[in-house]
Structure 1
Amino acid sequence: MARPRTPLLDRERITTTALQLVDEHGDFSVPQIAKRLGAQTGSVYHHVDGRDGIVELLRERVASVIDPGTLSQTPWDTALEAWARSYRAAFAAHPKAIPLLMTSPVRAPRVLEQYERAVTLLLDAGFAVADIMPLLVAVENLVLGSALDLAAPETMWELTPDAATPRLAEALAAVGEGRADRAFEVGLEGLMTHARALRVHGKRS
């Protein structure tokens, strides 16, 4: 029998299939991947380093659409804001992957390289080294929370006659469309204001 021109299994196909499963169900298993690809479960393990290896392939795939050029912009705050927006867009495309990816350690080299660039950006801008990771984690928390919010229903508060909430009703009516985007902008502006003050303090220390 002639061998197929395209290999049945490779890392790209495994990653694509795993991401499809996560987008559909919020998780994946190696047997599920194998079944979709028409392969044996053991064959999948010949191409990846177990489930943890697939998670890191997923992380690389989702993060690959974050624009790497954002962290090269100037000044530093323009770069950080642009990175945050691109980061949010990348994860908003796969919101069900967020809990999976954010509860496992980051090992993917290309993702670590991006954090290296972000740290370098802030060090070069004059931030105290002890302030950098808390700031980046705060950016990440805002970005990922907002990416999940984009996948949520536009109306997250369902008012009922059983609870007297006229002020809440008024506030909900006033917010209009684009609640998640507006909330992200509020959070990002506040975070950037804090970051600029933190930088000045770090330079004085």
Structure 2
Amino acid sequence: MPSPSSTPAESRSTDATPRRRAGRPPAAVLDQDRIIAASLKVVGSSGYEGFTMAALARSLNVAPSALYNHVSSKRDVLVLVQDHLTSFVQVAAFNSEPWDRAVRDWAWSYRDVFSRHTPLIPVIAVLPVADAPKTLAMYEAVSAGFSRAGFPQERIVAAIVALESFIFGSAYDVTAPADIFDSGSMAASTPNFTGAVARLSDDGYGNPADVAFSLGLEALIAGFGALLV
């Protein structure tokens, strides 16, 4: 019976209210997109050194065991991240543009993508590409473009590695402080270097990182172009 202080309506309302089940509320379903987004967030805030499976699980608000239902190791997560980032690198020009223009478009795009994720560069630069379909698709498109242009096949991979080494280093340069080459109190004793730094932006780009990247890339394209047959 309802208590003397309760009205019949109040009693019915109380009885009809569904009771909350014990236990944790259900978590959102994990998928690759959520894992990748959380991984980039963890690396962005804590660096690669702070990127652990436990930290990733906390970021996703799940138990580590739930995470291991989708990926078997930290390497698997990094392959997913590598593939995700590589998918933004533009390679379409290798199908329709002259070789030098295609290399230029690919390299600028590649640098811009990884300049936003520099903590991952030391890892991704040496991460095997097996099981990374989008990364392999990028390399296939670039290799095919080099081959069609008449580049010696035995030098294609070496040329790509040389370009990537330059691209990854240049991605770091994008985030360098503006006064990185300021000679400070030693300006008078380093007049040639100090004068060159003062005129660094005279090439028309304005941004010193873009000036350096353009100069180096054009030199590489010209050098590799001499090998075309």
Same fold (TM > 0.5): yes
Structure 1 vs Structure 2 CA RMSD:
1.9
Hey, what does 1:171 align to over in structure 2? 196
Q: Is the 8 A contact 2:91 2:102 kept in 1?
A: no
Aligned residue for 2:34? 13
Q: Residue type of the partner of 1:147?
A: A
Identical-pair percentage: 32
Q: Name the structure 1 match of 2:63.
A: 40
Q: Cα deviation per residue 1:137-176 (whole Å; 9 max; x = unaligned)?
A: 1111121111110011122124243672222221111113
Distance 1:74 1:168 in 2: 39
Q: 2:86 aligns with which of 57, 63, 72?
A: 63
Measure the CA separation in 1 of the matches of 2:69 and 2:111: 33
Unaligned runs of 5+ in 1: none
Q: 1:149 is matched with which residue?
A: 173
- Scaled by the length of structure 1, what TM-score is found? 0.89
In structure 2, list runs of 5 or more residues that go unmatched: 1-20
Measure the CA separation in 2 of the matches of 1:24 and 1:103: 22
**Residue of structure 2 equivalent to 1:191:** 220
Q: Give the whole-Å Cα distance in 1 for the aligned partners of 2:70 and 2:63.
A: 12
Note the C-alpha offset of 1:5: 8.7
TM-score, structure 2 normalization = 0.80
Q: Give, in whole Å, the separation in 2 of the partners of 1:102 and 1:30.
A: 21
> What do residues 15-39 of structure 1 show as CA deviations (whole Å, max 9, x unaligned)?
1111111122221110001111111
| Structure 1, 67-76 or 131-140: larger mean CA deviation | 67-76
User: Is the partner of 1:161 in helix, strand or coil?
Assistant: helix
Q: Please state how far the C-alpha of 1:122 moved relative to its aligned partner.
A: 1.1
1:78-157 correspondence runs (5 A): 78-107=101-130, 108-157=132-181
Task: Work out the CA distance in 2 between the residues paired with 1:103 and 1:25.
Answer: 21
Amino acid corresponding to residue 154 of structure 2 in structure 1: A
Q: How many residues align?
A: 199
Which of structures 1 and 2 has the bigger CA Rg?
Answer: 2
Deviations along 1:71-116, whole A, 9 cap, x unmatched?
2232122111111111111111212221121132222111011101
User: Which amino acid in 2 is paired with 1:11?
Assistant: Q
The alpha-carbon deviation at position 197 of structure 1 amounts to 0.3
1:182 and 2:174 correspond: no
Q: Is the 8 A contact 2:99 2:145 kept in 1?
A: yes
Any conservation in 2 of the 1:23–1:97 contact (CA below 8 Å)?
A: no
